[in-house]
């Protein structure tokens, strides 16, 4: 059987479904992150319903006017998101063979949907700052715990398909942030109350998660998906995503996976053996996100505009120059791997480029981060911040997506799902390490 016998992905249906699933994995977290103004307003006065622009101006006035819950909200939120993400991604890596794929993916999506419905209801419920803060963090813990299971399972499934099918997941995740940032800017432009804007945020997230559920239920019905997940197809090993000749087992002496021929359980795979093959790429994706989460969003949102002078740009500076710009360029970088995969899976340039991203930590520290106590401001003009953000976000998207695409390509086809789960674990480990380092990076400014 050759590549000519492989079915086509008609209407790019599988690609689109993986894109929607990728969108569904990160959209909930991005809506929490970009709704920071709503959360901090509730922590200040849960009964107050302020116009979005007034709250933004109050927030940009400086950290001195904030209480402890407001000042530490971004750091604690990131930590409460990334640590459960790490723990449950680790559990998913070791237990995925004991829990069915459908239960992991479908169950996680349903739980995330329920949590966001509850969050939308809570928008209309008055609550004291401390209980609101506590409940919000508990919801973040739960939503990222199940999000970790969903993400790890999704990358594991993608590992069984051609390498190019990891790209729509990464691209969908990148678009999730851009979509959430755009929604926040629209809310600011409309001048609507933060309470109404937040309710719209969370209901929109519910709709997207529901769409992801419907898409996942349709996935097993598609011939292209069945061809690879039933063990008939073989993953391509070249960077162009072209299929190689497929091997059919005709003799019991050929020790191929049992599920290539029948419905028996897949062979046991050694995670240590797989890790030895992909450790460079796994540590690379870990380092990419350690650097990224170490400064974004905890430090990047603390940068103040030096050219606005109290004008409208003060309101839009962080939503546009931080959240929207980061997510658009990150999405562009992730999407580029669909047409270009350089450097290759065995090139020494990949870890070199990943290590070079460490320069962004001091670059952002030397921007106009406020308040600051130790370092001088060398890049005071807004243009410097924007230029640094463009390279920072694009490199994050491209290198992270490249690593996630190349990781499963370094192992045998029947080990690809496990390799995808291991890559997801190291991606999440990078997020958790970055969340912890964000406290130290801010203290150094």
Report whether CATH 2.40.50.250 matches the domain 3-444: no
Residue 416, CA atoms < 13 Å, CB-side half-sphere: 28
Give the per-residue pLDDT at 261: 40
DSSP state for residue 303 in the 8-state scheme: B
Q: How far apart are CA 314 and CA 58, in angstroms?
A: 11
Instruction: Tell me the backbone φ, ψ of residue 303, rounded to 5 degrees.
Output: -75, 130
Of 209, 173, 204, the residue nearest 428 (C-alpha): 173
> What secondary structure does DSSP assign to 317-379, as a single string?
IIIIIIIIHHHHHHHHHHHHTTT---S-TT-THHHHHHHHGGGHHHHHHTB-BSS-SSS--SB
CA-CA distances (angstroms) from residue 185 to 34, 178, 313, 353, 383?
Answer: 10, 11, 12, 33, 20
Of 141, 166, 171, 172, the residue nearest 154 (C-alpha): 166
This prediction has a pTM of 0.71
Give the per-residue pLDDT at 205: 80
Give the per-residue pLDDT at 243: 36
Residues linked to residue 367 through DSSP beta bridges, in sequence order: 379
Give the per-residue pLDDT at 28: 77
Q: Is the dihedral of CA 177, 178, 179, 185 positive or negative?
A: positive
Give the per-residue pLDDT at 200: 73
Give the per-residue pLDDT at 65: 55
Q: How far apart are CA 312 and CA 307, in angstroms?
A: 11
Give the per-residue pLDDT at 350: 94
Domain residue limits, the chain: 3-444
Give the per-residue pLDDT at 93: 63
Give the per-residue pLDDT at 363: 97
Give the per-residue pLDDT at 194: 66
Q: Which two tokens stand for residue 164?
A: 């190019």
Q: Which two tokens stand for residue 194?
A: 């933060």
Scanning 61-128, the segments in alpha helix (DSSP H) are 68-71, 73-95, 101-122
Task: Name the helix (H) or strand (E) containing 244.
Answer: none
Encode pLDDT of 127-166 as tens digits: 888 898 999 899 989 988 888 888 878 888 887 888 778 8
Q: How far apart are CA 29 and CA 50, in angstroms?
A: 24
SS3 162: coil
Q: Which residues of the chain have pLDDT under 70?
A: 1-4, 45-66, 93-97, 187, 191-194, 197, 231-269
Q: How far apart are CA 188 and CA 319, in angstroms?
A: 9
Give the per-residue pLDDT at 166: 81
């Amino acid at each position: 059987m050759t590549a000519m016998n492989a079915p086509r992905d008609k209407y790019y249906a599988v690609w689109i479904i993986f894109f929607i699933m990728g969108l569904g994995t990160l959209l909930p977290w991005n809506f929490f992150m970009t709704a920071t103004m709503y959360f901090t307003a509730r922590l200040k006065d849960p009964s107050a319903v302020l116009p979005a622009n007034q709250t933004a101006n109050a927030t940009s006035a400086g950290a001195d006017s904030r209480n402890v819950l407001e000042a530490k909200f971004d750091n604690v939120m990131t930590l409460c998101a990334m640590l459960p993400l790490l723990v449950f991604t680790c559990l998913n890596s070791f237990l995925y063979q004991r829990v069915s794929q459908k239960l992991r993916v479908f169950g996680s999506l349903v739980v995330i949907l329920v949590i966001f419905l509850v969050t939308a209801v809570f928008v209309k419920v008055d609550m004291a700052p401390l209980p609101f803060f506590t409940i919000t963090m508990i919801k973040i813990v739960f939503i990222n715990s199940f999000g970790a299971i969903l993400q790890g399972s999704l990358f594991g499934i993608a590992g069984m398909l051609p390498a190019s099918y990891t790209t729509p997941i990464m691209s969908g995740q990148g678009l999730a942030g851009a979509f959430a940032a755009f929604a926040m800017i629209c809310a600011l432009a409309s001048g609507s109350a933060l309470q109404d804007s937040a309710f719209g945020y969370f209901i929109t997230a519910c709709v997207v998660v529901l769409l992801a559920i419907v898409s996942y239920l349709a996935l097993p019905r598609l011939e292209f998906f069945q061809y690879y997940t039933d063990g008939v197809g073989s993953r391509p090993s070249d960077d162009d995503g072209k299929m190689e000749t497929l091997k059919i087992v005709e003799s019991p002496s050929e020790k191929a996976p049992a599920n290539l021929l029948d419905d028996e359980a897949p062979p046991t795979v050694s995670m240590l053996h797989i890790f030895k093959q992909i450790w460079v790429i796994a540590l690379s994706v870990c380092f990419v996100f350690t650097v990224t989460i170490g400064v974004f969003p905890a430090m990047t949102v603390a940068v103040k505009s030096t050219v606005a002078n109290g004008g409208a740009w003060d309101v839009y500076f962080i939503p546009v120059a931080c959240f929207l710009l980061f997510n658009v360029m990150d999405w562009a970088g992730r999407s580029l791997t669909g047409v270009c995969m350089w450097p290759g899976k065995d090139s020494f340039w990949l870890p070199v480029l990943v290590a070079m991203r460490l320069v962004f930590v001091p670059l952002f520290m030397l921007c106009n981060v406020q308040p600051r106590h130790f370092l001088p401001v060398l890049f005071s003009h807004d243009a410097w911040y924007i230029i640094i953000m463009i390279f920072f976000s694009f490199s994050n998207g491209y290198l992270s997506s490249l690593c996630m695409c190349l990781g499963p390509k370094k192992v045998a086809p029947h080990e690809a799902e496990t390799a995808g789960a291991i890559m997801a674990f190291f991606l999440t480990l990078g997020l958790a390490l970055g969340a912890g380092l964000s406290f130290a990076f801010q203290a150094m400014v």
